Every structure is written in structure tokens, then in C-alpha cells.
Amino acid sequence: MSITRTALEEVEKRFNRLIGTSATNLCTHCGWCVESCHVYLSTLNPELSPVAKTERVRRVLKRSHDWLSKLVPFWTGAADLTESELDKWVELAYKYCTLCERCVINCPMAVETPQIMGAIRGTLTSIKKSPEILDQLTGAEIAREDGLDMMREIFREHIVDLEKEVQEKLNNPSAKIPIEEEAEILYVPLSGVHTIIPPAVIFNYVGASWTLSMFESSNYAMFLGDIPRAKQIVNRILKEAERLNVKEIVLSECGHAYAAFRWEAPKWFGEPLKFKVSSILEVMDDYLETGVLTFDSSQNGEAITYHDPCNIGRKGGIFEEPRRIINVISSNYREMYPSREQNFCCGGGGGLVANTDWQDYRIETGKVKADQIRETRAKKVLTSCDNCLHQIQEISEYYDLNVEVSNVSQWAISALTIT
């Protein structure tokens, strides 16, 4: 079977009501979405507007789903899928669209461009045309489970050093980083130590019953639209949570991990998860509200701003939690404009940060975010996503923003009231 035919069959498998609605005549080509896209605004390339990008895919979908396009394709711009077009799709779905959904918010018809691009990502993965690095990172995440005994040994060694850091920060020699112990909370970090120490400090500070997961929360399979492997990555954490009898799974500050676990996984499994799933931001916000977490705000007059990661904010519904935390600590918080559901993608979303082949382009499309940050005149940018963190660090350097970038929890622990 030809690769284009296989691709079309794979597209059909993913053709659901949401995509079907957006795939044919919903879009009137009005062009309102054009300026909502950071890729277009950074490049001013009309072929990179949301509608132009989606149209490249839509014309193929129309060919098989729209009556007029089946009969007289030239009339609606419909076209058959070719091998060269498949190569173009790789760039459209993985490079030129970060799945940020800003165009959806600003489309009068609510055309779901990212849903279409997500289906195309899955299609490309199934025919092995997706970026290799995302596939490798997914493979590495899964391999962590395959070699669990060896990993456990490495992990325990690794944690001993981190525990000392937590004890020093809290001035408390009995502070612990429990691993694989029965507890109320299972905290799932990323690999980076900056996602382990701050939550460990916070959990010890409030005296929470918690344990650290053996796994990491990131889910590169979601970027690939590879649902079987995305489920596998989530499932191992669910099994761990069940084994440890926890009540709540708390995720590190990672945008796509939150979106995957909190919102997408229940859809993949077809039922609600047995555990409450929260971001560490939500947990910190709860601790603040109940008064168990207290901060010393006297030293925090530095100009600070917050970047809403798309997966946490526009796709996740977490807007006020980080702001409540930041405003307790900082007396000089400056809102970025626009922000919350209208915030711009940093340019590194959708797995783009991991792809060094497209690094120059990624920095170029970070221009909108750089301009937004510059306008706040903040000296520090906080965010809640490692991809955003990395991207903003790079654009800060490239565009001479001269800002420090940090995750919220990492920044917040320096202001803890420690007696």
C-alpha cells in the first residue's frame, strides 16, 4: 500500500466530530485568526497564518469529506495527498504549529486548528515521519519502566544528595524525600532536580504526607499524537499510585504533563481517573489559603512577571493560582499583556524545544514573547512549564532581555518563612 493511502487511512481513524466540524466548511477564510498566531506575527509570512497552515491539511480532508470537493476539487481548493505534501505536513504540524490554541480563542467560528494538527501529528507518527527526537524521548520515558530495578537503584542514590539540599534549605535535618512509600500524595517530577527540590521543600514545610514517584510526568508521546504510548506513560504512574495507596497525584510544573494527565488521559482511558490530579501550583495555592504555607514578602520588590504556559492556562484552566502565590510574595508584580487565555505561546511549545534542527526558527518565533516581556520591564519571568522556561531563557539571551527565568515553586521557596 502506498504511503499516502496509509496516511489517509490513519487520518480517517482520527477523524472525530471535533475534527469533522472544523475540517470542511466551518472555516469561511475570513482571516480573523491571522494575527492571533505568534508564528505569523514573528515571521509575517502569510503562509504561516493559522488558516493558511490548516488549509494545507483541510484541502486533503475536504477531498474525502466534502461533497463539492469530491466532484470539482479545484472549486474548493481541494487536493489529493502526495508524498511531497506529507513532507510539508511534517513541518506544518510539528514546526509551524505549537498547538497553542490561541487561534481557536480568536476565531469567530471556533475552528479547531490544533485538533486537526494533532490528528496529523498522530498520522505522521504512524507512518514514521514524525521528528526522530520526540520518538527517542518517548522511547526513553518508556524504557525507564522497562529497567525499573536498575533505575530504582540509580534513583535512590540520586535522591540522597537532594535530600541533603532540602534539609539545608529548611534548616531541618529530619526533612525527607520519601520514595515509593505509602502516602496521601504521589508527587511526579520531571528529570530535572529543579522540579524535585522545590516541591520537596514545600511538602516538608507543610508536613504533608507525600512520596516521590519513580517516574517523570512528561509525556512526549502526546506531542506525537501517539495515544497508545501516551497511555502507557500515564498508566505506569497510575499503577504506582494504586500500589502506594495515594489519594492524589500532584504534577510538577510542566505544561504538557498537566494537560496530558489532568485532561487528556481520562479521555484516552474513556473514564475518569481514580485519583485526584493536581498541579503543584494548585496544591501550593491551597496551602496558602489554609495558612500552612507562609512567605516572607519583605525582600521581594523586584519587578516580576508571569508567563501563562498554554497547556497550563488556555488548555488547562490554571490562571489565578500562580498569580495568588506570586502576589503574596512579590510587591512588584507586572501583568504581561495580553495574558491568561489570550497569552501568546513562548514559541517553544508542542515539543519544539526538543528539536534542535528547528532551533533558529524557534528563536525567531519567540519574538512576540520577547516583546511582551520587554514591555513589562520585569527583571524576572516566572512560568510553570519546563519547555517555556527553556525557551524564555534562550530568547532572553538572543533578544537581550536580560531577565532571570524560573518556575514558580523554585522561586517561591526562597521566600519561605523559616524560623
Distance of CA 396 to the CA centre of its chain: 20
Please, which of residues 90-109 interact with another protein by CB under 8 A?
Answer: 104-109
Choosing from 2, 272, 291, 419, the residue that interacts with another protein (CB under 8 A) is: 272
Choosing from 188, 244, 354, 408, the residue that interacts with another protein (CB under 8 A) is: 354
How many angstroms separate the Cα of 70 from the Cα of each of 13, 54, 111? 20, 19, 22
Distance of CA 413 to the CA centre of its chain: 23
Q: Which is nearer to another protein, 86 or 234 (CB)?
A: 234
* Residue 124, SS3 per DSSP: helix
* Residue 346, SS3 per DSSP: coil
Residue 244: all three cell numbers together = 502506594
How many angstroms separate the Cα of 383 from the Cα of each of 66, 209, 346, 380? 42, 26, 10, 10
Please, which of residues 113-132 interact with another protein by CB under 8 A?
Answer: 132
Q: Which is nearer to another protein, 93 or 300 (CB)?
A: 93
Q: Which is nearer to another protein, 73 or 374 (CB)?
A: 73
DSSP 316: T
Site string for another protein, 35-74 (x = CB under 8 A): xx---x-----xx-x-xx--x-----------xx-----x
Binding flag, residue 256, another protein (CB under 8 A): no
Site string for another protein, 329-348 (x = CB under 8 A): ---------x-xxx------
Choosing from 172, 263, 334, 379, the residue that interacts with another protein (CB under 8 A) is: 263
Which of the ranges 85-93, 228-236, 259-267, 327-335 carries the binding residues for another protein, by CB under 8 A? 259-267
Distance of CA 192 to the CA centre of its chain: 16
Q: How many H helices and E strands in the chain? A: 22, 7
C-alpha count within 13 angstroms, C-beta hemisphere, residue 24? 15
Distance of CA 105 to the CA centre of its chain: 18
Binding flag, residue 79, another protein (CB under 8 A): no
Please, which of residues 234-253 interact with another protein by CB under 8 A?
Answer: none
Site string for another protein, 383-402 (x = CB under 8 A): ---x--xx------------
Q: Which amino acid does the sequence have at 26?
A: L
Residue 123: all three cell numbers together = 498520522
CB of 407 to another protein, least distance (A): 10
- What angle separates helix 83-90 from helix 50-65, to the nearest 10 degrees? 140
Please, which of residues 144-173 interact with another protein by CB under 8 A?
Answer: 144, 146-147, 150-151, 154-155, 157-158, 161-162
Q: What distance in Å separates the CA atoms of residue 306 and residue 317, rounded to the nearest whole number?
A: 15
Binding flag, residue 317, another protein (CB under 8 A): yes
CB of 419 to another protein, least distance (A): 28
Choosing from 3, 127, 273, 328, the residue that interacts with another protein (CB under 8 A) is: 273
Binding flag, residue 296, another protein (CB under 8 A): no
Binding flag, residue 34, another protein (CB under 8 A): yes
Q: What distance in Å separates the CA atoms of residue 176 and residue 6, rounded to the nearest whole number?
A: 52
CB of 51 to another protein, least distance (A): 5
CB of 203 to another protein, least distance (A): 19
Burial class (CB in 10 A: 0-12, 13-18, 19+), 46: exposed
Sign of CA pseudo-dihedral 282, 287, 293, 294:
positive
Q: Which is nearer to another protein, 23 or 183 (CB)?
A: 23
Site string for another protein, 174-203 (x = CB under 8 A): ----------------xxxxx---------
Q: Which is nearer to another protein, 301 or 338 (CB)?
A: 338
Residue 141: all three cell numbers together = 520515558
Q: Which has the closest alpha carbon to 170: 199, 195, 190?
A: 199
